[in-house]
Structure 1
Amino acid sequence: MTNPNPDSFPRPDRRTALRATAGLAAFSFAGCLGGDSTDGADDGVDGTAGNASGDGASADDGADVDYAVERVAEGFENPWGLAFLPGDGRLLVTERLGRLSLVDPADGSTRTVAGAPEVFSRGQGGLLDIEIHPAYPTDPRVYLTYAASDDSGAAATHVGSGRLRLDGSDAPALDGFEPICVAEPFRDSELHFGSRVTFGPDGALFVTVGDRRDTEFGPDHVSQDRSNELGSTLRLTADGDPHPDNPFVDDPNARDTIYSYGHRNPQGMAVRSETGRIWQCEHGERDGDEINVIERGGNYGWPVASEACNYGTDERVAPSHRERGDAVAPVHYWPCGSGGFPPSGAVFYEGDAFPEWRGDLFAGTLAAQYLGRFTVEGAGATEAAVTEREPLLADRDWRVRALAVEPTTGHLYVAVDAADAPVVRLVPA
C-alpha cells in the first residue's frame, strides 16, 4: 500500500515545545477515546485517557490497562524514526523531509542536529529510520537510513553513520556522516524503500529494503533475485560491511549482504528479547500484510507466495505461503478482504510503566490509523501464537509511523505521520 503523503518541501523550523505537567489528570473508560492531532491543552496533555481492552475484548493480561496520552513536542513534518540516547534521556527524531531533531522529553525543547545527509524526499523517500550504536556513548555513532539519488535521478535505500556531538551550548551535530551501504540497484521509483534499521543481540546491523514497487510479478521479480539487494533484509557489521556469517557469502550469484529475501516492503522491525530473534512487519499488496520472524537465508515468498490480492480485485497475487514448501510463512497475517494492517514502526515492550504489556509486540498502522498490540505465546522456533488485541489510539485519525520505549520510565513514545505532527507518549493513567 502506497503512502498518500504528497511531495513537499522543508519549511522554517516552527516546532512548538510542550511542557508536560507532573500531575496528570486522567480518566479511564472502556475503549479508546477519539480526538485528532490538534487536540490537547497547553500543558501537553491531550485530556483523554484510554483503556487497552475496549468493550467486549477478550481477556488477556494487558486488557484492563489504563493509559493516558501526553504530548511531548509537535510541529514535526512527517516524522519517521525515533531513538533514545542511552543513559541520556533525550530523543532523536527523523523527519522525512530531511531534518534530524534532538528532543528533551522533560520540557519538550527541540533542537535541529546539523550534519544530516541530503535526501531524496519524494513519494515515500526521504530521511527515514535511526539507530544508536549499542556501545553509545563510548562509540557515539548514530545510524540513519534514507533515500538518496544518483546523477540520473534514480534513488536507492542508503545506510549511513556519523558521530553525534553534543557540546553544551553548541548546536548538536553529526560529525563525519557518510554512507556505509547502498542497497542497489538504483530505481526510478519513489516507493517501497523499506528502511527500518536495528542492531541484533550479536551486534550485527539489520536493515530492511523494499522491492521499490516492482510490479513484474513472477519468479524473476527482484525480491526473488538474490543478485540484487531489493526486497531483502541486509545484515551488516557496524562499519557497513557484509556480515561474515551471512548465508550467501559463498554464492557468486548472490549479494553477500543479504540475510533474508522475498520481501515486499518491511517497515517495522524489532528484536524479541526472549529469543533474540528479529521480527518484521511487512506491507502486502491489497491486504496481505504480514508479521514475520526472520530466519537466516529465509525466502519470505513475495511475490510467488502471498496472502494478498491484486489492487482493485479479489484475485490472489499468488498461492498462499502454506501452499509452497520453499517460502517461510508469516506468524500472523491479514488475508485479502480483511482490510489489512499497513504497518510501520514496531517495538517489543519491556518497560516498567505497563508490566501487563511486557513481552507484547506493538506495531503502528498507517491507513488503518491505530496502534496495534499483539500478545506472543511461546519461544520456540516457529513462534506462531500471535494474537492481535484491541487497538490503542483508535479514532484519533493518526497514522502511527514510529515507536520507541523510554528506557528509564517505560513510557511508550509514538510518532504520528502527518505534515504537522506530534510526538506523544503513553503513560499510566
Structure 2
Amino acid sequence: MSAERHSTRRCQNRRTVLSSTVAGGFLALAGCLSLLENGAEVEDTAPETSEEVDFDVEIVTDEVAYPWGIAFSDDGSTMLVTEREGTLSLVDHDNGDHQSVAGTPEVYASGQGGLLDVTFHPAYPDETWVYLTYAASDDDGASATHLGRGRLEESEPALESFEQLFVVEPFVDSTAHFGSRVVFGDDGMVYLTSGDRGFKDFGPDHVSQDTTNAIGTTLRLEPDGTVPDDNPFVDDDDVLDAIYSYGHRNAQGMVVHPETGDIWQSEHGEEDGDEINVIEAGGNYGWPIAHTGCEYSTDDPVGADPRELDDVVDPVYFWECGTGGFPPAGMTIYDGDAFPDWHGDLFVGNLAGQYMGRFTLEGTVVDGVEALLEGRGWRVRDVEVEPGTGYLYVAVDSDRGPVVRLRPQSD
C-alpha cells in the first residue's frame, strides 16, 4: 500500500494576525492563514512554540464510485462506505477489500441525489441496525430526502428487513440540496439534515422559513423514526413536530462533539456565505432572511446580516461574500490517540476548494485554520476517525474515490 509523507504546523507567534488570499474562486489557505471571528480579524491563539504533525497518506481503496459517507462501528471493526450511485460497500480497512451490501433501497441518483449518508446504531453489534439517508422519487419523478434502516448481516453482506423511517416532504422537482447527514446524539436520538432543494424565492416565505414542512431543517427522531415527546415544537401547531432547527440552506456535514455533546454542522451558502454552526433546539439559522453570502454572480446580499437579527442564531464561523468561501461537506471532531496534537480539532471536507480544512477550537470559537491535502484535486466529501486506531479517513468525491487514511508518519 503506497503512502505519501506530509507535515503540518501551527504558526509560532501567538500574536501573528494571519492573512488570507482568494485564488481560483476559493479560499487559499497556506502556511499561516486568515482568521475571521464573526467577520473581524482576530489574533491567532496557537501556542508560541511550533507544533509539527507528520503523517502518511495511504490509499485504502480506489474502487468506490463517488463515495459520500463513511461510518465505523464504535469498536472500529466494521467500516461502511456509501457510493452516491446506489452501492453500500463493506470495506476491510486493513487491506482495502470491499463487498457490496445487498438489500439497499432504490435511490434517485441524479444531480446531487443518490445514496448519501450512513451511520451505525450506537449499540452495534448488539443492535445490528444501520441507518441510511438517500434521495428517492415518487411516481411523478419528484424527489425527497429519505431516512431508512436495515439490520446488517456481515457474513454475506446484506441489509435485512430494510424499512423507510422518514421522508422529508414535500417531494420536489429538483436534483439539488438534499442535505442528508445523519448522526446519533448523546441523547440516543437520530438527527438528520435536509436541504432547501434549491428554491430561489429568497424572502420570509422561503420553504426553509416555512415550518409546516421538513425542507431546510434539522430533524430529531427516535431510532424507529417516530417523533420524540420532548422535541422543541411538539406543542406548536404551526411547526412540524419532527423539526429540531430550521432556516438551513444545505447542511452536508454534522458531528456530535465527543466532549460536550453539542451538534456541529457545516452548511453551504449561496455565493460564499458558507457556515459552521452549533445547533440549538428550536433555533432559526436564518436562511434566506439572514445570510453573509450574495446571490450567485452578483454582489447583492441575500438577506440581512445574521448578527443584526435577535431571533436568528449566529454561525460560529462563516465566509462572507467575496472571500471565495469554503464549500463544505462531511466533518468530524478528532478524538483519537494517533494524533495527540489534533485532539479536539474540527476537520471539514472542502469540495470546490479541493482540500480538507482543520479548525482549532476554543469552546465554540474557531481560533485557527489550516489546509490539508491541498494540491491533489481532491473534492473532500467526508471525514471520519477510525475508533480503533485513531487514523483519519477521507472520502474523495470522484468516480473511483479514493478513500484514504492519514496515519502518523512511519519511522
Tell me if both proteins adopt one fold, taking TM over 0.5 as the criterion. Answer: yes
Structure-1 separation of matches of 2:160 and 2:78: 19
Partner residue of 1:125 out of 113, 137, 140: 113
- Structure 1 partner of 2:383: 403
The alpha-carbon distance between structure 1 residues 372 and 316, as it changes in their structure 2 partners (threshold 3 A), is: same
Structure-1 separation of matches of 2:154 and 2:350: 33
- Structure 1 partner of 2:319: 334
- Structure 2 partner of 1:261: 246
Structure-1 separation of matches of 2:76 and 2:384: 15
Structure-1 separation of matches of 2:32 and 2:177: 37
Structure-1 separation of matches of 2:98 and 2:9: 30
Partner residue of 2:348 out of 343, 363, 373: 363
Q: Where do 5+ consecutive residues of structure 1 fail to align?
A: 1-42
Instruction: State the 1:88 CA deviation.
Output: 5.1
- Structure 2 partner of 1:302: 287
Structure-2 separation of matches of 1:305 and 1:255: 22
Structure-1 separation of matches of 2:252 and 2:164: 20
Partner residue of 1:416 out of 389, 396, 406: 396
8 Å CA contact retained: 1:44, 1:72: no
Q: Which AA in structure 2 matches 1:409?
A: T
Equivalent residue runs for 1:141-220 within 5 Å: 141-167=129-155, 171-220=156-205
8 Å CA contact retained: 2:5, 2:55: no
Structure-2 separation of matches of 1:52 and 1:194: 33
Q: Which AA in structure 1 matches 2:46?
A: D
8 Å CA contact retained: 2:31, 2:370: no
1:280 to 2:265 alignment: yes
Secondary structure of the residue aligned to 1:376 is strand
1:106 to 2:94 alignment: yes
Q: Which AA in structure 2 matches 1:50?
A: S
8 Å CA contact retained: 1:131, 1:143: yes
8 Å CA contact retained: 1:163, 1:177: yes
Partner residue of 2:46 out of 45, 60, 64: 60
Instruction: State the 1:63 CA deviation.
Output: 4.5
Instruction: State the 1:86 CA deviation.
Output: 2.8
- Structure 2 partner of 1:315: 300
**Is the deviation greater in 57-66 or in 231-240?**
57-66
Q: Which AA in structure 1 matches 2:295?
A: N
- Structure 2 partner of 1:51: 8
Structure-1 separation of matches of 2:299 and 2:51: 35
Q: Which AA in structure 2 matches 1:111?
A: Q
Instruction: State the 1:375 CA deviation.
Output: 1.0
The alpha-carbon distance between structure 1 residues 63 and 224, as it changes in their structure 2 partners (threshold 3 A), is: farther
Structure-2 separation of matches of 1:55 and 1:284: 26
The alpha-carbon distance between structure 1 residues 377 and 165, as it changes in their structure 2 partners (threshold 3 A), is: same
Structure-2 separation of matches of 1:94 and 1:414: 13
Structure-2 separation of matches of 1:191 and 1:387: 32
Percent sequence identity is: 57
8 Å CA contact retained: 2:115, 2:133: yes
Equivalent pairs, count? 378
Q: Where do 5+ consecutive residues of structure 2 fail to align?
A: 11-29, 34-43
TM-score by length of 1: 0.86
8 Å CA contact retained: 1:300, 1:327: yes
Secondary structure of the residue aligned to 1:311 is coil
The alpha-carbon distance between structure 1 residues 175 and 51, as it changes in their structure 2 partners (threshold 3 A), is: same
**What is the Cα-based RMSD across aligned positions, in Å?**
1.3
Query: What are the Cα deviations for residues 287-328 of structure 1, in whole angstroms up to 9, with x where unaligned?
Result: 000000000000000000000000000110111101111110
The alpha-carbon distance between structure 1 residues 63 and 197, as it changes in their structure 2 partners (threshold 3 A), is: farther
TM-score by length of 2: 0.90
Structure-1 separation of matches of 2:56 and 2:9: 11
Instruction: State the 1:251 CA deviation.
Output: 1.4
**Is the deviation greater in 285-294 or in 106-115?**
106-115
Structure-1 separation of matches of 2:31 and 2:103: 48
8 Å CA contact retained: 2:45, 2:368: no
